[in-house]
């Protein structure tokens, strides 16, 4: 009789323990999915309105916080680059005084079109497709593109 009670208690504790572990992993899985899941239009992972073309001066870099990317406008066009460092993923700021992107984590350096000029980064900043409609700059953040270098074909006419 008492053995049966011990087994029941053991079973109960086993179920409670298993349920707790399942709950923890379930919450972690939901958090991970929310992190990597593309967001609908208007947020990172979707199509982002960056601004009017004329708001981006030639030879300027503008950060678009909602999209986690930078718009770089050169004399030849516009390129959108993900802020994520290609070394280990830190957010890379544009440092105006230096005239370059300078990763605070391990010192990778990128020029105005995202080419690596120093540090451990293995490749240029990833890009997002840019579309200009009626003078408005839209960036599709659903699919970053890796590249091995910069080519003028990566620029969108503006
Ligand atoms: S994460 Fe940017 S240099 Fe390491």
For residue range 60-110, what is the model confidence (pLDDT) as tens digits? 999 999 999 999 999 999 999 999 999 999 999 999 999 999 999 999 999
Looking at the structure, do residues 134 and 83 belong to the same domain, yes or no? Answer: yes
Looking at the structure, do residues 114 and 83 belong to the same domain, yes or no? Answer: yes
Amino acid 38: pLDDT: 46
Q: Which residue has the tokens 């839209």?
A: 138
DSSP 8-state assignment for residue 57 = -
Bridge-based pairing of strands 60-64 and 136-140 is: unpaired
Can you tell me the distance from the alpha carbon of 41 to that of 59, in angstroms, rounded to the nearest whole number? 28
How many domains are there within the chain?
2
Q: Which atom of ligand 1 is nearest to the CA of 119?
A: 3
Residue 42 lies in a domain: no
**Minimal-distance CA residue to ligand 1 atom 3:** 106
Looking at the structure, do residues 9 and 66 belong to the same domain, yes or no? Answer: no
Can you tell me the distance from the alpha carbon of 106 to that of 90, in angstroms, rounded to the nearest whole number? 9
Looking at the structure, do residues 71 and 122 belong to the same domain, yes or no? Answer: yes
Q: What is residue 89's three-state secondary structure?
A: coil
Q: What is residue 91's three-state secondary structure?
A: strand
Amino acid 32: pLDDT: 57
Write down how long the chain is: 158
Looking at the structure, do residues 54 and 100 belong to the same domain, yes or no? Answer: yes
Looking at the structure, do residues 85 and 55 belong to the same domain, yes or no? Answer: yes
pLDDT tens across 35-68, in order? 545 444 568 899 999 999 999 999 999 999 999 9
- 68 close to ligand 1 (CB < 6 Angstrom): no
Is the pTM above the cut of 0.85? no
Amino acid 65: pLDDT: 95
Residue 104 lies in a domain: yes
- 103 close to ligand 1 (CB < 6 Angstrom): yes
Q: Which residue has the higher pLDDT, 32 or 98?
A: 98
Looking at the structure, do residues 23 and 64 belong to the same domain, yes or no? Answer: no
Structural domain range at position 90? 47-154
Looking at the structure, do residues 2 and 24 belong to the same domain, yes or no? Answer: yes
Looking at the structure, do residues 9 and 79 belong to the same domain, yes or no? Answer: no
């Amino acid at each position: 009789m008492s053995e049966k009670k011990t087994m029941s208690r053991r079973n109960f504790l086993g179920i409670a323990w298993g349920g707790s572990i399942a709950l923890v992993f379930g919450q972690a899985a939901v958090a991970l999915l929310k992190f990597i899941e593309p967001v609908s239009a208007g947020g990172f992972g979707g199509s982002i309105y960056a601004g009017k073309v004329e708001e981006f001066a030639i030879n300027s870099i503008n950060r678009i916080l909602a999209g986690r990317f930078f718009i770089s406008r050169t004399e030849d066009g516009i390129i959108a680059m993900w802020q994520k460092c290609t070394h280990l993923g830190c957010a890379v700021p544009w440092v105006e005084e230096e005239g370059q992107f300078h990763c605070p984590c391990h010192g990778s350096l990128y020029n105005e079109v995202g080419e690596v000029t120093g540090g451990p980064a293995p490749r240029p900043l990833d890009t997002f497709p840019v579309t200009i409609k009626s003078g408005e700059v839209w960036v599709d953040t659903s699919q970053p593109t890796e590249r091995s270098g910069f080519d003028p074909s990566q620029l969108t006419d503006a």
